[in-house]
Amino acid sequence: MGTFADKIGLVMGVASDHSIAWALSEALYDEGARLAFTYMPGEHNERRVRQLVEPHGADLVLPCDVKRDEDIEQVFQKVEQACGRLDFLVHSIAFAPPAELRNPYVQTSRQGWHLAMDTSVYSLVAVCRAAAPLMKGGGSIMTVSYFGGEKVLPGYNLMGVCKAALEHSVRYLAWDLGGQNIRINAISAGPMRTVSTAGIADFDKLRDHSAQKSPLRRNVTAEDIGSTGLYLLSDRSSGVTGEILHVDCGYNIVGL
């Protein structure tokens, strides 16, 4: 019996087998969790996620455009109907138009800024509000950030500003949800190759720099992310909420 035996969770944001959300999902499956998944509407997205989860027998695989309140409402209604409750939620969703990432932040368009903030930040608020009634006995929520939300990393641009807003949202949500015994934390992951990072300029140089300058002299792995996610989503972190936990081989502590 694993740590998550009889636990039910929803994972939002699996894009491929290289995504952080999938690294977390594999770790959760290994510990006996029952999982439901959402994907961005689209035949290709659905096919890709279903191929990943099919060997594990996912409880639900549902489309969800997090910019649409009606989509979010329908997802949580179906989760409640199928599962009855939620014990934990993984939010690993971020998007900015590629052109906005290529441009300096000062050139960000109003439309691009709103789209990126809506998808990457407000979505966490919206899904927390929808998930809370299903976490009747308390629960744990986790999202994914990056060091570019704390310090300027050229090339990360608009997404860095989104991650800064996401991290402070975690703190306010921790306060709002704490009275219901619902905890929320974030992993600030080191640079990993994912679908999302494909749009970041000079990403390979950033990874090389991180490996050279971090105390552990390497980049973070999917296993590093998965094991930390298990800690934050389980009762082993029962006294931890509102935290941004760096999983970056120590890169964030280095000044030069």
- Active-site residue, from 29, 39, 105, 156: 156
**Largest Cα–Cα separation, the chain:** 53
Give the active site residue among 146, 172, 231, 251. 146
Six-digit token pair at 80?
Answer: 């409640």
Q: One digit per residue, pLDDT tens: the chain, 256 residues?
A: 699 999 999 999 998 888 999 999 999 999 999 999 999 999 999 999 999 999 998 889 999 999 999 999 999 999 999 999 999 999 999 999 999 999 999 999 999 999 999 999 999 999 999 999 999 999 999 999 999 999 998 889 999 999 999 999 999 999 999 999 999 999 999 987 666 655 566 777 878 888 999 999 999 999 999 999 999 999 999 999 999 999 999 999 998 7
List the beta bridge partners of residue 56. none
> What CATH superfamily classification does 8-251 receive?
NAD(P)-binding Rossmann-like Domain (3.40.50.720)
pTM of the predicted model as reported, rounded to 2 decimal places = 0.94
Closest alpha carbon to 253 in 207, 163, 198, 190: 190
Active site residue 146: yes
